[in-house]
Every structure is written in C-alpha cells, then in structure tokens.
C-alpha cells in the first residue's frame, strides 16, 4: 500500500559526509516512504532543484564550498518552490535566525538534531508550505473573482473613504485608468450638488456609519456624464484594513426605458380618461340634462292637476335627477382633473380642499415644493392620492383638523396628510379601504411607497414618498 503513496522527497544540501550520514539516518528512522537526494555544492543543488520540481523540503547547510550565508539562502529561495530548513552550527546561529525573515521554514542546530526534532520540523515545514499555497490560491481566486467580474466593483477604506482597489469593469464604467481611480475619495464619484450631503456622512464617527448600504444613487463619470447606479455593499478586511466593497451596476438605460414606459402608460391612460370624460359630459350628462328640462317643463304644465302626494314624488324625482347630473359632472371632472394640467398640483389640491369648505373640518395646507411643476404623471398620482385620503377623512375620520404638507427633500417628493380623527386598523387596507390599495399600486409604479400610521382613537398619518426623476 505504501508504494501507491507519493514519497516524501528531500534534498540534503551538505558538504560534510558525517552530517549527511546522520541526517539521512534520522530521516529514514521516522519516515516510511522517503526519497532522498544529496548535493554537496550550491551548483549541484541548483541543477537538481531546477531538474526536479516536486521536492517537499530542502535541508540546507549555511556553508558550502561555492556559496554561503545570506547569499546562499537568497539563491536557493529564488529557485526553490518548496520549504527550506537551515542546518547550522552554533557559529552560524545569528545568520540562521536572520534568514527566517526571508521565508525559511525553520533552522536546526546540527549538534542538537534528533530523529524526533527533524521529523517534526520537516512535517511542519511541508504543512506550512501547503497551507501558504492554499491561502495564496484562495487569495488569487478571490482576486480573479473581483478583477475579472463583469460587474463594476471597487473597495474603499472605511476610515478615510479613499478607494483602495477597483476591477476592470468599474474602470470602464467610470472612464478612469487604474492609477486615476485609486486614491480618490468616494464623494468624487458623485455630482457636485450631492457632495454636501455625503460629506455630512463622512464627518460622522466610524461607529455611526458602519452599516453597509444598498440602494439607488446618482454617480458621475470622469467625463461628467451622470449615471444612475444600483449599489450593493458589504464590509470586508482588505489588506488588514477595515473596508467596504461596492458593486455599482449602471441602471441608467433601464431607468430611461422605465420612464418611457411610464410616460407611454400615462399617455394611454390620459387618452382613455379623456374619452370617458367626454362620453360622460357629451353623452350621459347631456341626456340627463335634457331629461331634467323636459320633466321640469312637463311638471309646470300639469302641476295644478297633481295631488300633494304626486307633487312630492315629482319634486323628489327632479331632485334625484339633478343629483345624478351633478354626480356625472363630478365624476367627469375627477377622471380628468383639468386644473392639474393647466395650473399644476398645488392648484389641484386647493380645489379639493375648496370642495369640502362647508364641512366641519379645518384644513392646513403647506406647500414647500421647490419646483412650480412636476412631471404630469406624478402630479396626477399625488392629486388622486390627496383626493382619496381627503375624501376618506371627510367621510369616515370624524376629525376636526387635517394637515396636508407637500415638500421636496433629498431628491424625494414627500406628501404627508394627518388628521385627529377616530383612526382605523391599517391591516384592513385592501379589505375595506380599496381606494388606498389602488393608490398604493399607482405609487409603486413610480418606485414610491405609501406608509400608514393609524390607531383607533388616535388619528391617522399617511406618508407618501416618491423619488424625483430629475
């Protein structure tokens, strides 16, 4: 069975015949499967090492006829791909200790060598070399995974925010050479208007910014081009430095296509709303109005002939018909809120509040938008969201006050609506509050989110957040 196992291959580089005999004897005493070669000069050792690449260990005397000391060790380590153990006398002990720093596995004093000590040293040297090779292979594999990855990746130091390493995909994405990219601080990859916010984060204590972050950010390439990237990060130890590895995937084209799709969807929806509004206004509403006028005229002719009960039914019928006309007009207006397209979101919200002016409810509206107009699809979504929430407050909240705040902060549109009413159970949204469920879908379509905070008897606060697309 031992013949099938690869023997331990040892090269003894020694010019003293007595030392060679002793070392060879000790090795054979403790190793069952052993292959030993001997060289008595550096020149012969070099020839054998270059000819045989599978030595497990070299036992090297520090003094050979043709080379000795540090120079000998340097030459052997330069050509040798295995562990090297120094065999030395007391006179060379100082040099032996010094060469350990060069990568020598161990040194043994000749006068103190025993079979056990030699066996232990050889095994340790072989295992140490195997461990170092495995570690080097692991690091190389990791490095290849990093540098050859098609996903742009870079690493920055947590304490200084300086970039320490980057792969080819990252250099290509941002347009820098490796030398230009390394050493930059991460805020240099952001547009100028974003830098103040990022610098506030940089100034925080390290303990407050340890958590890796993920999300969508705006970055700037070397040529000044702005790109949108999805960021994924994790903390690592890079060259014994606490660092963070970033994966930055350019989603600019995907985002552009999404915006085009949203705009197309909005235009299709707009045309359908206009068609329905026109049908209601020019069709059903006109028919109802004509019916109302005809019945009203007929009533004037036969009014004297009607008894009190018939008159009451006639008046009630006219009232219901008039209510149907008003309802049709209101639905047509809600389907296509023309004031939004003509005057903007603020005017639209003010119109909603004016319609409820006679309710026993005080509205406080604060508009702090930086822009006079938003993309029309966002204005429609925020308008309908406000409309649905205000209608729910008027109908169900039993509130005396409602606050509406519309603002823009950190590239995000923020709509906050709160009341001091009876509140409700948010878990029922989707069961009893179908309008809010529909709004949630609309807000999701523009990468926004809606959050409801409500408790029975403690009022309701609804927060809407939508990223600004410019």
Do 303 and 229 sit in the same domain of this protein?
Answer: no
Q: Please say whether the beta carbons of 12 and 37 come within 8 A.
A: yes
Of 230, 250, 270, which one is at a domain's C-terminal end?
A: 250
The boundaries of the domain holding residue 412 are 337-470
Whether 403 and 288 share a structural domain: no
What CATH number did the domain enclosing 192 receive?
3.30.450.20
pLDDT, tens digit, for every residue of 421-456? 999 887 766 545 556 667 777 888 787 888 889 888
**Per-position DSSP letters for 234-254, written without gaps between them:** EEEEETTEEEEEEEEEE-HHH
Residue at a domain's end among 145, 160, 175: 145
Same domain, yes or no: 259 and 184: no
The last residue of one of the domains, among 336, 370, 399, is 336
Whether residues 234 and 270 fall in one domain: no
Q: Which of 90, 88, 55 is nearest to 69 (CA)?
A: 88
Tens digits of residue pLDDT in 128-150: 888 888 877 777 777 778 888 88
Tens digits of per-residue pLDDT, 204-246?
Answer: 766 665 567 788 888 999 999 999 899 999 998 898 899 999 9
Q: Do 405 and 431 sit in the same domain of this protein?
A: yes
Is residue 100 located within the same domain as residue 23?
yes
**pLDDT averaged over every residue in the chain:** 85
| Of the listed ranges 2-16, 89-103, 204-218, the one predicted with least confidence | 204-218
Whether residue 229 sits in one domain with residue 362: no
Rounded to an integer, what distance in angstroms lies between the CA atom of residue 371 and that of residue 373?
5
Over pLDDT 90: what percentage of the chain?
Answer: 37
pLDDT grade, residue 268 (50/70/90)? confident
The whole-model pTM stands at 0.47
pLDDT at 356: 82
The secondary structure of 145-213 as a DSSP string is: HHHT-SS-EEEEETTT-BEEEE-HHHHHHHT--HHHHTT-BGGGGS-GGGHHHHHHHHTS-GGGG-S--
Q: Dmax of the chain from CA atoms?
A: 146
Do residues 78 and 98 touch, judged by C-beta distance below 8 A? no
The answer to whether residues 206 and 159 touch, using CB atoms and an 8 Å cutoff, is: yes
In terms of domains, do 127 and 212 share one?
no
Residue pair 107/122 in contact (Cβ under 8 Å)? The answer is no
409 and 351 co-located in one domain: yes
Instruction: Report whether pLDDT(372) > 90.
Output: no
Residues 348 and 466 reside in one and the same domain: yes
Confidence check: pLDDT of 1 > 60:
no
| CATH number for the domain that contains residue 451 | 3.30.565.10
- The sign of the dihedral angle between the CA atoms of 457, 458, 459, 464 is negative
- Residues 135 and 59 occupy one common structural domain: yes
Q: Domain with 100 in it: what CATH number?
A: 3.40.50.2300
Q: How many domains does the chain have?
A: 4
Residues 325 and 262 both lie in one domain: yes
How many whole angstroms separate alpha carbon 318 and alpha carbon 405?
41
């Amino acid at each position: 069975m031992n013949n099938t196992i690869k023997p331990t291959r040892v090269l003894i580089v020694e010019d003293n015949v007595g030392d060679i005999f002793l070392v060879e004897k000790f090795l054979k005493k403790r190793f069952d499967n052993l292959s030993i070669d001997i060289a008595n000069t550096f020149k012969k050792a070099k020839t054998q090492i270059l000819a045989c690449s599978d030595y497990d260990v070299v036992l090297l005397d520090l003094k050979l006829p043709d080379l000795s000391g540090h120079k000998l060790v340097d030459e052997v380590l330069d050509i040798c791909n295995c562990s090297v153990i120094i065999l030395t006398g007391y006179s060379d002990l100082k040099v032996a200790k010094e060469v350990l720093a060069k990568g020598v596995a161990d040194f043994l004093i000749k006068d103190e060598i025993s079979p056990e000590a030699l066996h232990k040293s050889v095994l340790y040297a072989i295992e140490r070399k195997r461990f170092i090779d495995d570690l080097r292979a692991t690091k190389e594999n990791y490095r290849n995974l990093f540098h050859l990855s098609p996903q742009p990746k870079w690493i920055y130091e947590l304490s200084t925010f300086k970039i320490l390493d980057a792969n080819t995909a990252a250099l290509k994405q941002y347009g820098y050479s490796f030398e230009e990219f390394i050493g930059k601080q991460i805020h240099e990859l952001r547009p100028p208007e974003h830098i103040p916010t990022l610098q506030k984060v940089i100034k925080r204590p390290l303990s407050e910014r340890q958590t890796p972050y993920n999300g969508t950010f705006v970055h700037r390439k070397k040529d000044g081009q702005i790109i949108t990237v999805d960021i994924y990060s994790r903390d690592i130890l890079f060259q014994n430095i606490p660092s963070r590895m970033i994966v930055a995937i350019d989603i600019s084209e995907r985002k552009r296509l999404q915006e085009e799709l949203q705009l197309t969807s909005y235009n299709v929806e707009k045309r359908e709303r206009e068609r329905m509004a026109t049908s209601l206004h020019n069709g059903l509403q006109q028919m109802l109005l004509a019916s109302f006028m005809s019945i009203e005229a007929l009533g004037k002719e036969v009014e004297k002939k009607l008894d009190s009960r018939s008159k009451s039914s006639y008046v009630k019928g006219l009232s219901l018909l008039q209510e149907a006309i008003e309802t049709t007009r209101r639905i047509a207006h809600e389907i296509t809120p023309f004031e939004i397209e003509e005057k903007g979101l603020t005017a639209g919200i003010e119109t909603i509040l004016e319609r409820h002016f006679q309710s026993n409810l005080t509205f406080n509206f604060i508009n702090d938008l930086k822009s006079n107009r938003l993309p029309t699809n966002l204005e429609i979504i925020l308008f309908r969201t406000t409309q649905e929430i205000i209608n729910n407050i008027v109908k169900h909240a039993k509130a005396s006050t409602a606050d509406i705040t519309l603002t823009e902060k950190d590239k995000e549109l923020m709509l906050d609506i709160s009341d001091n009413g009876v509140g409700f159970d948010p878990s029922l949204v989707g069961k009893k509050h179908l309008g809010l469920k529909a709004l949630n879908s609309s807000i999701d379509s523009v990468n926004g989110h809606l959050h409801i905070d409500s408790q029975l008897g403690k009022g309701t606060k609804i927060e809407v957040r939508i990223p600004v697309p410019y």
